[in-house]
A and B are shown apart, each in its own frame.
Chain A
């Protein structure tokens, strides 16, 4: 299947997953197009559209939690950032994705501990 068609297909399938979770594709079309393209490349190489910004371990149980959209498995963390780690998805109310910063896992856990989120 050609890359553009597969990107479009992933977009359609993933839209149906993220919408009920309160997310949408980032308004930054350039980033979205780039990330979907990477996912198609990753899918061709590894068999699944894994997150382009998280690393594979070779352990199925761990790696399956970073197949896009991986929001269900990192919900609280991504909700705190209002975006997913790679930025393909943002909370529905976000119009300016550049204003969102990535919060690392340890920072997020610290914020939880301190009751800041």
Chain B
């Protein structure tokens, strides 16, 4: 069994509801998104042309890439117009008001 690699990302308090933050962790561009009481972490590179999804508009659980309006579900990472295409979704845990991301075993 491989060791789980949980990496500190940010404080929960740093993200207001509906807010998105771009981070680089272990060299990977990641978008942290808070939706009411949930936090999601997805790759911050759109599968199309690698534009930063953190700069996109969030509507419900759907984030729209600022470059070409490609829409992704932040829960599954799926691209709505072709489900075969996905942005990475990172597993995440909150402990003592801190957000940690699992940097291996992404769900793809």
Contacts and interface: CB of A to CB of B under 8 A. Distances in A.
Interface of A: 13, 16-17, 20-21, 48, 60-61, 64, 67, 71-73, 75
A64 B69 contact: yes
Q: Report the 7 A-B pairs with minimum CB-CB distance, sorted nearest first.
A: A72-B82, A72-B81, A20-B84, A64-B69, A67-B68, A64-B68, A13-B49
A13 B48 contact: yes
| Residue from B50, B68, B85 having most chain A Cβ neighbours under 10 A | B68
Interface residues of B, number: 12
A17 B68 contact: no
A17 B69 CA distance: 15
Describe A's contact surface by its main secondary structure: helix
Contacts of A64: 68-69
Nearest to B80: A72
Contacts of B49: 13
Nearest to B81: A72
Nearest to B82: A72
A72 B68 contact: no
Contacts of B47: 16-17
B69 A72 contact: no
B48 A17 contact: yes
A60 B69 contact: yes
A7 B2 CA distance: 40
B40 interface: no
Contacts of B68: 48, 64, 67
A55 to B, nearest CB: 17
18 contacts: A13-B48, A13-B49, A16-B47, A17-B47, A17-B48, A20-B82, A20-B85, A21-B84, A48-B67, A48-B68, A60-B69, A64-B68, A67-B48, A71-B82, A72-B79, A72-B81, A72-B82, A73-B81
A75 B84 CA distance: 12
A44 B9 CA distance: 37
